[in-house]
Amino acid sequence: MKKRLIAVSILFLMLLLGIITFCAPAHATGSITLSPAAYITTSGRDGGQPVSNLHNQDQSGTQNDWDKYVELTTPRSNTYAGYRTYILPEEVASTNITALQVDVNYLGPKKSYQTWTWQIRDFTQGTWVTIGDNASAADWRWSPLSFDLSGDFADYVSSSGEICIHVASNNTRDNADLDYEAVVVTVDDSPAPSLTNTATLRPPTTLPPTLISTIAPTTVPPTTVPPTLTSTSTPTMLPPTTMPPTLTMLPPTLTNTSIPPTMTPPAGIWQPAPGTSWQWQLTDTIDTSFEVDMYDIDLFEVPQTTIEQLKADGRIVICYFSAGSWEDWRPDAGDFPALVKGRSNGWPGEVWLDIRNISVLGPIMKARMDLAVQKGCHGVEPDNIDGYTNNTGFPLDYQDQIDYNVWLAREAHARGLSIGLKNDVEQVPDLVDVFDWALNEQCFEYDECDTLLPFVQAGKAVFGVEYTGSTSSFCPQANAMGFDWLKKNLDLDAYRVACR
């Protein structure tokens, strides 16, 4: 009887292991169709239809239901350019993507008359990669297009899970319409190692959440965490699961600073897109009557009640302070020792700072950003952060400025503050992924506006002002470039004329 029970038990165990072995899938594959979350026009114009018009393919032949597609136009001398953003679900690891495909329903001219080219953003290289065009489309008949991508698919996903698809025309001879655009993501979530016909079962695996560091130099690629594997079986002796690399949190110093390919701010930080309306007023009593998205005002001098009123009106509040100069009228002016004060920057009572001396300037600038948080500012505009191009009295070089500006951005993000790159146009290529938006003075007067285009191409607003000249001399070009420009008085009072 005892031998029979043992035999039956062994047979039952073998059957159980067989079921476990052959029922466990070797691969967990599937595809996800992503619809665009937003679309942004950077050159030319669009019809203003909602992005949801791109979610369903419901036009064919010569149908022309205007409220079911998105119109892309090339007014006057402006070619069209713009992009759509897609969000990869958090549970999908970009490293598990095995295929990407972009599907489009296009209505427009044939390629021989006007070429419309689609591209995808390579976030690792910071470039746009061409994936196809309208070569197979019929002339002004709805034409489904499909583009299969190649390369390392993880490069096409930002550290915050965004995928960006760009489309542009090569001339202004005609327009086009899009009824549908989608990104089809094929994912392979194969577990490793797989089960074999042994008595070994995978233990429950708990992976740490993805770490997003805004202080680390992040020379390590953004961590991607695979879906959590679970099991109700008893843990046995399997090799430990390999965990993703942990991002090292470095102290806020200017040593060993490196610029990451992308430096995505934590969730909730304001990152405006082109087309954001704004007002910039640093003197006099703030005029709160402008119907704009954002106000940029002085950190120290604007009363708390004004900030609260602006926020109650639904405005984003950006608080200005100088990060690269000493101003003798500020309440913390006495905190700056003589050793960090340099030559005059041309404004009364103001001199350049030695930005290399972070041991002195660091605590002061941190306190200013802490004050911005305390007052309820959504972000900061640090001024005079291009000292290395001026006669400051200190031997500042390009890397000194990069180090300081990256440090400022990380400290702002660590406090949940949005931060803009003020002027400093020569360093835009190195800082566009670090700052959330740009603010420029007089780029049209000095013929340097092209240097700011990387911000627009990254979907980030470029705010700016001209102090001289008529709006007709710069507004058309500013609008065509996707900039948000104002005509202002030099003392930055309430006066404003917006280009759009």
Q: Where are the domains of the chain?
A: 29-188, 278-498
- Helix (H) or strand (E) run with residue 252 in it: none
Q: Bridge-partner residues for 466, per DSSP? A: 487
Please report, in tens digits, the pLDDT of each residue of the chain (500 residues total): 433 334 434 444 444 444 333 333 434 579 999 999 988 787 778 888 999 999 999 999 989 898 999 999 887 556 888 889 899 998 999 999 999 999 999 999 999 999 999 999 998 887 889 999 999 999 999 999 999 999 999 999 987 788 999 999 998 889 999 999 999 999 987 654 443 333 333 333 333 333 223 333 333 333 333 333 333 333 333 333 333 333 323 333 343 333 443 455 566 899 999 999 999 999 999 999 999 999 999 999 999 999 999 999 999 999 999 999 999 999 999 999 999 999 999 999 999 999 999 999 999 999 999 999 999 999 999 999 999 999 999 999 999 999 999 999 999 999 999 999 999 999 999 999 999 999 999 999 999 999 999 999 999 999 999 999 999 999 999 999 999 999 999 999 999 999 99
Structure tokens at 474: 């710069």
Instruction: Tell the CATH topology of 29-188.
Output: Jelly Rolls (2.60.120)
Phi, psi of 390 (to 5 degrees): -120, 170
Domain covering 278-498: architecture: Alpha-Beta Barrel (3.20)
Q: Which residues, in sequence order, are CB contacts of 280 under 8 Å at separation 6+?
A: 295, 296, 439, 463, 465, 486, 488, 492, 496
pTM summary value: 0.52
User: What does the chain come to in residues?
Assistant: 500
Phi, psi of 15 (to 5 degrees): -65, -40
Cα 424 from Cα 386, distance rounded (Å): 5
- Helix (H) or strand (E) run with residue 164 in it: strand 162-169
